[in-house]
Amino acid sequence: MKKTITNILIFLPAVFLITSLVLIYALKSGPIKWTPLMLKREWQFRGTGTVSKMYWVPLQEISPNAIKAIVMSEDQRFMEHHGVDLVELERMLRSYKNGDAGLRGCSTITQQVAKNCFTFSSNTYLRKAMELYWASLMEIFWNKERILEVYMNVVEVGRGLYGVETASREYFHCRAKEMTEHDAASLAVILPSPLTTSPFEAWTAKPERIERLVVELKRKKFPQTPVVSDFS
């Protein structure tokens, strides 16, 4: 009996690891049509008439304005870290200990891709652990360009809306490659709460933040890497 239990305890993690590696490799290229988050929202919004929309486009067909605005808003050290932003995490913990602010999320773009594509986004420690696990695999087996491409296409941008191309069509009536700096900034500022606000409402609620981001877009050069050669 003990031997059987031991074999199971060895076998299951091995199967999970192999399955994880196969899945990560399979998703290393090409469009991802559905994510666990999308399935979760389908269940949540059933009977409301909400229709899920996602238009997948290559990273090269997304405006540099959108890429820069979202990276600067969501994860400024995306090109530097390996899935977890230890600098931001340390800053958050220091502020919390000093009583300056409460605990807040420090999820990187890699972690957000992991959460959306490989978990059902539950608020549990197990989900956070799985998020870190998948984020590590992505940083090892994908490159930054692929992680960014997936994020730009699966990120939730509204009720039943996923991806920058979808947001561009629905909100700005243009293609993602045609987004202006103001379009990009207004979209970027709603990403923490896309179900409760829109880029249009953001202009009323957060005009200063949008304008500040537009100024940053105009003056700040995007980090260069061998993989993502030029977003300027």
Write out the residue range of the structural domain in which residue 91 sits. Answer: 33-219
Contact assessment for residue 110 and residue 139, using Cβ atoms and an 8 Å cutoff:
yes
Residues with Cβ within 8 Å of residue 90, at least 6 apart in sequence:
none
Looking at the structure, do residues 7 and 109 belong to the same domain, yes or no?
Answer: no
**Residue 16 pLDDT:** 87
**Residue 169 pLDDT:** 97
Percent of the chain surpassing pLDDT 70: 81
CATH number (domain holding residue 180): 1.10.3810.10
- 232 lies in some domain: no
Looking at the structure, do residues 103 and 194 belong to the same domain, yes or no?
Answer: yes
**Residue 20 pLDDT:** 92
Residue 37 confidence class, pLDDT cut points 50, 70, 90: very high
Asked if pLDDT for residue 15 goes beyond 90, the answer is no
**pTM, to two decimals:** 0.86
Task: List, for residues 133-161, the tens digit of each pLDDT value.
Answer: 999 999 999 999 999 999 999 999 999 99
Asked if pLDDT for residue 207 goes beyond 80, the answer is yes
Contact assessment for residue 223 and residue 79, using Cβ atoms and an 8 Å cutoff:
yes
Q: Do the strands 53-54 and 161-162 form a parallel or antiparallel pair, or are they unpaired?
A: parallel
Residue labelled with tokens 């590590």? 136
Task: List, for residues 176-204, the tens digit of each pLDDT value.
Answer: 999 999 999 999 999 999 999 999 999 99
Looking at the structure, do residues 66 and 99 belong to the same domain, yes or no?
Answer: yes
Asked if pLDDT for residue 23 goes beyond 80, the answer is yes
Residue 217 confidence class, pLDDT cut points 50, 70, 90: confident
Closest to 148 in 3D by CA, of 220, 66, 210, 87: 66
Give the number of domains in the chain.
2
Looking at the structure, do residues 11 and 51 belong to the same domain, yes or no?
Answer: no
